[in-house]
Amino acid sequence: MNGTKKKSRREKFREALNRPWLYYTVAACSAVLLYVLLSHFSGIVSGLRNIYNLFMPVIIGLILSYILNPLVNVFKDHVLKKMKKEKLKHTFAVLLAVLTFVVSVAGLLILLVPSVIESVKNMYQNFSSYRGNLERYLNNVANVMARMRIDTSRFSNSIEGWFGKFGDMVMNNMDKVLSTSVSVGNGFINFLIGFVLMIYFLLGRESLLAGLQRFRRAILTKEQYESHTAFFSRCHRIFIRFIGLNFVDGVIIGVANAIFMLIMRMPLVPFISMVVGVTNLIPTFGPIVGAILSALLLLLNGHPYMALIFIAFSIVLQTIDSYVIKPKMYGDGFGIQGIWILIAILIFGKMFGMAGMLLAVPLAAIISIVYQEYVLKRVEERHKRKAEKAAEEAVEEAKAAAEDLTEAAEAPPESSVSEDFEKEKWL
């Protein structure tokens, strides 16, 4: 043994990072990888979509178990707290949570489905009259515009042609209802399988979490484990808080909309209220889409004044929701600006569809936390270390320069030394 200390993996890794060839290698590999991804982008997306569809029941089961887990904890900690056996108490809590979920969904379907089906049936039966109503509205607008000497013939013809093509497209593509029904059937089967998997996930929650914690402890240091645990707990609180409060807010808006429509004796109350409540779950522009679609349905059913009243009520309701209800429910919010919420909705909606749009706010909040508290913090620490190192190097250089000046000042002049030598030699 030569007595030298063995280098750790981290030191070896840092030494490798300081080598110049590493950056060129990473850049070349990144360029090759980017070229492969772009040249086979459609195939990669298709493969990822197939994998996603393959694991869809598992994903549904995980999502449902994640949503029902707080309800299981409520039953376990409050309703069944007197039970001594922990395993039996957990099993009964899971069964009660699943039973509550099934009864709630069944009751909601019993209340909404018949009226929604009736509303859709009436809309389909009256579809031919929508064109007549639209022509009548356009003629009235054209007469008003003609009095103001504004030509609207092209605009009216374009809308009439578009609406006629839309009606013909709906009528001619009724054969695609079968394929749509098949896809809906596949989705229903995936939901049933996911529901069964949800029960197993909830029943085996403790063992699954214990295995995950054991794996994390094996690959992480103690500080990393504690840091990751705190981060995941924070993400969990953000998701649960947003999902629960957003659902309650959607129910409040839907019920308020239904009460107003019943008071004003408007048609299609169940269907429009459901549309308003569901679209309200989508942040930012979801309520706008719901209000426009609902007002359009009222307009096409021959109720233009009710459509205007509905638009005015929607503006008032969304104002109250934005400035009164949501601030009381969300408190300080998630610390995200509106522009970033809109960007998150567009990006995650494009990537994950409706689920991405619904969860855009908590996902954006988590990304903001990662950026501000981890990425930005490490960049600032790295910049601080570089500044401290540069300051130390400047101090060392200043000390070296001062030492050089001191040595130069203490040394005798070269001319005097040579003169003394000449005098000694002459003597």
Instruction: Note the pLDDT tens digit of each residue in 143-178.
Output: 766 676 665 566 556 655 665 565 555 555 555 555
According to the model, what pLDDT value does residue 170 have? 53
110 vs 418, which has greater pLDDT?
A: 110
- Percentage of the chain beyond pLDDT 90 is 4
- Contact yes or no for 134/159 (Cβ under 8 A): yes
Phi/psi of residue 332, nearest 5 degrees: -80, 0
**What DSSP state is assigned to residue 284?**
T
| Segment 304-320, tens digit of pLDDT | 788 889 999 999 988 88
3-state secondary structure of 229: helix
- Contact yes or no for 80/92 (Cβ under 8 A): yes
**Which own/partner pairs from 284-293 qualify as long-range (CB within 8 Å, at least 24 positions apart)?**
284/338, 284/341, 284/342, 284/345, 285/342, 285/345, 286/357, 287/253, 287/314, 287/318, 287/321, 290/314, 291/315, 291/318
Q: How many CB atoms are located within 10 Å of the residue 125 CB?
A: 9
Q: What's the rounded Cα separation, in Å, for the pair 75 and 361?
A: 29
Is a pLDDT exceeding 70 seen at residue 204?
yes
Sign of the CA dihedral running 219, 225, 227, 228:
positive
According to the model, what pLDDT value does residue 178 have? 52
| Site of tokens 């009724």 | 174
3-state secondary structure of 332: coil
The pLDDT-based confidence of 184 (bands split at 50, 70, 90) is: low
106 vs 415, which has greater pLDDT?
A: 106
| Site of tokens 């059913």 | 301
158 vs 225, which has greater pLDDT?
A: 225
Mean per-residue pLDDT for 98-118?
A: 80
According to the model, what pLDDT value does residue 95 have? 92
Cα-based torsion angle of the residue sequence 211, 216, 221, 222 in order, rounded to the nearest 10 degrees: -60
Assign residue 155 a region (left: φ > 0; alpha: ψ between -120 and 50; beta: otherwise).
alpha
According to the model, what pLDDT value does residue 259 have? 92
| Residue 113 CB contacts under 8 Å (≥ 6 apart), including other chains | none
Q: Which residue in 279, 266, 254, 363 sits closest to 310, CA to CA?
A: 266
- Contact yes or no for 189/163 (Cβ under 8 A): no
**What DSSP state is assigned to residue 282?**
S
According to the model, what pLDDT value does residue 4 have? 47
The pLDDT-based confidence of 327 (bands split at 50, 70, 90) is: confident
- Contact yes or no for 237/103 (Cβ under 8 A): no
4 vs 30, which has greater pLDDT?
A: 30
Q: What distance lies between CA 160 and its chain's CA centroid?
A: 39
Q: What angle do CA 35, 38, 39 make, to 5 degrees?
A: 80
The string over 397-415, giving b where at least 16 C-beta atoms fall within 10 Å of a residue's C-beta and e elsewhere, is eeeeeeeeeeeeeeeeeee
- For the chain, the distance separating the N- and C-terminal CA atoms, rounded to the nearest angstrom, is 63
215 vs 149, which has greater pLDDT?
A: 215
Cα-based torsion angle of the residue sequence 242, 245, 246, 252 in order, rounded to the nearest 10 degrees: 180
Cα-based torsion angle of the residue sequence 258, 261, 265, 271 in order, rounded to the nearest 10 degrees: -60
User: % helix / strand / coil in the chain, to the nearest 5?
Assistant: 85, 0, 15
Residue type, 307: A
According to the model, what pLDDT value does residue 1 have? 45
